[in-house]
Structure 1
Amino acid sequence: MKTENIFFLLFLMASILTKAQNNASVEKSNNNIQIGAVGVWFNNESKLAGQFVLRTEIGLYTEIVAGNGFFMAPELTLEPRWYYNIKKRGKKGKNTSKNAANFFTIKTSYRSDIFEILHDRGKGAENSISFVPKWGIRRNLGKYFNYELGIGFGYLTFFDQKYFTVFDANGPVVDLHFRIGINL
């Protein structure tokens, strides 16, 4: 009798866990700090619906300018994300915590010259806004770390330009990112 009860409880727990994985969805709120090749960011993802989040982000982006060194300036980002395969990953028993899944997004970023960390005064930050539809993946590295890869093509426009170079023109832009982060 006792062995039958143990097997029944194990079966019941396995059924509940399997059912929970099949209904995988994004987390209610998710914070992390990420660092990439062009800056450092703090972001929050807040659940809108089963597979949708609103990601808000503040950070410092970096540009390296030939002959002038580098500068860092603030960037604000707002992006709705659709983690389109989070349910599929959950059904396969893969880790979906902290929204570990593939996503589509429309990244809207505002870069400001409100303050700058400069190496040289030859070139600094420009006020600009960009709209970039992107595809990406987010995965966990253990319990506390994550990484993201993404690529997108969109449009960038500048406001009140101070520095005019070949790379600082209104128009199409490619957004490629690779970041490693800490889950908070």
Structure 2
Amino acid sequence: MIKNYLFVFLSILFINAVQAQDDTPVSVEKHQFKINPLLSPGFVYEHGFSAKNTLYSEASLIIGYRHNSFYDESTWYFVPRITEQFRHYYNLEKRASKGKRTAHNSGNFFALYADYSFESISTNKLFSEYCPSFTVGPVWGLQRTYKKRFNIDLNVGLGVATDRNETEVLPIGNFTIGWVIGK
């Protein structure tokens, strides 16, 4: 059933991409690099392959802190993560007509979100280990780039997550703060 929903979602995005006009006055950036030093540090590359569609690729590090009250010990953990999104920006023309920024992919989007979190690179035998997981699902989001290339990116949705122990439906949320680098 989930495969059917994903198929319908991807079909709608593909049809929109095929019907997109080539002479639209605004479009997404062809190549965009970002650095996100806060919250979940990482690097992002967003490749625009049509006027409204991009492939968003992120390599980041989840940083967390846990406390074990039984042993009265605490630990930090570091989990490498790769995130991919096929994004369709749907309101660029509307933003441009209102005089709002569209530079550096400032707009709202729908996306198919896929995320793989690796095993933690820090260990502590007193804590349960963080096992690798894979999450996929549709999200809605917005990205804004302000003066001096300050960037915020937020996306939320519902997805399916699986690891070696279980598979479950859960909310997806990702929020980054960073800077667009390059031209």
Shorter-chain-normalised TM-score: which range? 0.7 to 0.9
Query: What's the TM-score, normalizing by structure 2?
Result: 0.75
Q: Say which SS state the counterpart of residue 104 (structure 2) adopts.
A: helix
The question of whether the paired residues in 2 share the 8 Å contact of 1:75 and 1:110 is answered with yes
Greater CA drift, 80-89 or 122-131 = 122-131
C-alpha distance in structure 2 between counterparts of 1:144 and 1:183, whole Å: 5
Between the aligned partners of 2:174 and 2:116, the Cα distance in structure 1 is 16
Preserved contact between residue 153 and residue 174 of structure 1 (Cα < 8 Å): yes
Equivalent position of 1:179 in the other structure:
176
Q: What amino acid is the match of 1:26?
A: V
Selected match of 1:101 from 72, 93, 107: 107
User: Gaps (5+ residues) in structure 1?
Assistant: 1-21, 162-168
Superposition misfits of 4+ residues, deviation over 4 angstroms: none
**What's the C-alpha RMSD, in Å, of the aligned pairs?**
1.9
Equivalence for 2:147: 142
Please say which structure displays the higher CA radius of gyration.
Answer: 1
AA matched with 1:60:
L
Contact 1:104/1:134 (8 A) holds in 2: yes
Q: Render the CA deviation track for 1:155-176: whole Å, top value 9, x for unaligned.
A: 10003x5xxxxxxx42012122
2:153 aligned counterpart, secondary structure: strand
- 3-state secondary structure, aligned to 2:113: strand
Aligned AA (1:183): V
Given the two structures, how large is their TM-score scaled by the length of structure 1? 0.75
Secondary structure at the counterpart of residue 29 of structure 2:
coil
d(CA) in 1 for partners of 2:168 and 2:64? 18
Give deviations 1:102-121, integer Å, cap 9, x for gaps. Answer: 111111011111x6135x44
Aligned length: 152
Partner of 1:129: 134
Secondary structure of 1:65's match? strand
Determine if contact 1:111/1:127 at 8 Å carries over to the other structure. Answer: yes
Aligned-partner Cα distance in 2 for 1:61–1:23:
38
- Residues 65-115 of structure 1, C-alpha deviation per residue, up to 9 Å, x if partnerless? 3424331111111110011111211222211111000111111011111x6
Q: How far, CA to CA, are the matches of 1:149 and 1:56 in structure 2?
A: 15
For residues 112 and 44 of structure 2, the distance between their equivalents in structure 1, rounded to whole angstroms, comes to 16
**What is the identity percentage for the equivalent residue pairs of Structure 1 and Structure 2?**
28
Residue pairs, 1:57-136, within 5 angstroms? 57-67=58-68, 68-113=74-119, 116-118=121-123, 120-121=124-125, 122-136=127-141
The more displaced of 27-36 and 59-68 is 59-68
2:101 counterpart SS class: coil
